[in-house]
Amino acid sequence: MNDYRLMRPADARCWIFDLDNTLYPASCRLFDQVERRIGEYVQQLLGLEPDAARTLQKQYFRDHQTTLNGLMIHHGVKPEDFLEFVHQIDLTPVALDERLDQALERLPGRKLIYTNGSVRHAQNVMGRLGVARHFEAIFDIAEAAFVPKPDIAAYRALVARHGIDPAQAIMLDDMPRNLAPAAELGMTTVWVKTDVAWAQPAEQTHYIHHVAENLADWLHAVSKDGSGA
């Protein structure tokens, strides 16, 4: 990635964390469960066979940023019902993460979660990780008026709702495309790297300022030497 830095991560006054595949490792495969539940929802809603439902699910994800957004636009789906259904998953793969807890404890400044999921899902995951005490707020898809990342309007709503100065904020996400609007607003960005095929960056990655191979390790390094390099 490029070497351009908006600021040293240790100088950040507000830390904005994505939830899924960011605060917990992608190896937990929670989102595999969510994807299956989304497929089941589409099947039941539209009376489709599994393959047809999966095709439509992926089409809406590509065309509308999230499957939910596509279902709302084309089928008038109530988002609350969808979110309740798809987040009925087994959270036991997410383990207590004392190293992450310690890293978050050492970070100065405010800490928020920004997710395309629901507050309840975020609370459940943080409960498993044992890190809920560090976060002052969860900005979820409902608070964003169901406008999903990476629509920059949702980021502006986040900034306004929580009084964030983008120049003093740092955003961490496993989806490279979700970092582009944050960088456009003036935030420093961190890609939390995963092996998920659809979460790899395009060739143009000027909006990624730092890369974290492991979130807890990277946060510990930041709090130690300040650079995140």
The model's pTM: 0.89
Residue 203 CA to residue 208 CA, distance in Å, equals 11
How confident is the model at residue 226, as a pLDDT? 55
List the chain pLDDT tens, one digit each, 229 residues: 444 445 788 899 999 999 999 999 999 999 899 999 999 999 999 999 999 999 999 999 889 888 999 999 999 999 999 999 999 999 999 999 999 999 999 998 999 999 999 999 999 999 999 999 999 999 999 999 999 999 999 999 999 999 999 999 999 999 999 999 999 999 999 999 988 776 677 776 889 999 999 999 999 999 876 555 5
Bridge-based pairing state of the strands 137-139 and 210-212: unpaired
Per-residue confidence (pLDDT) for residue 202, from 0 to 100: 72
Q: Which domains does the chain have, with CATH numbers?
A: 9-24+95-225 (3.40.50.1000), 30-86 (1.10.150.450)
Q: pLDDT at position 171, please?
A: 98
pLDDT of res. 4: 42
What pLDDT score was predicted for residue 210?
93
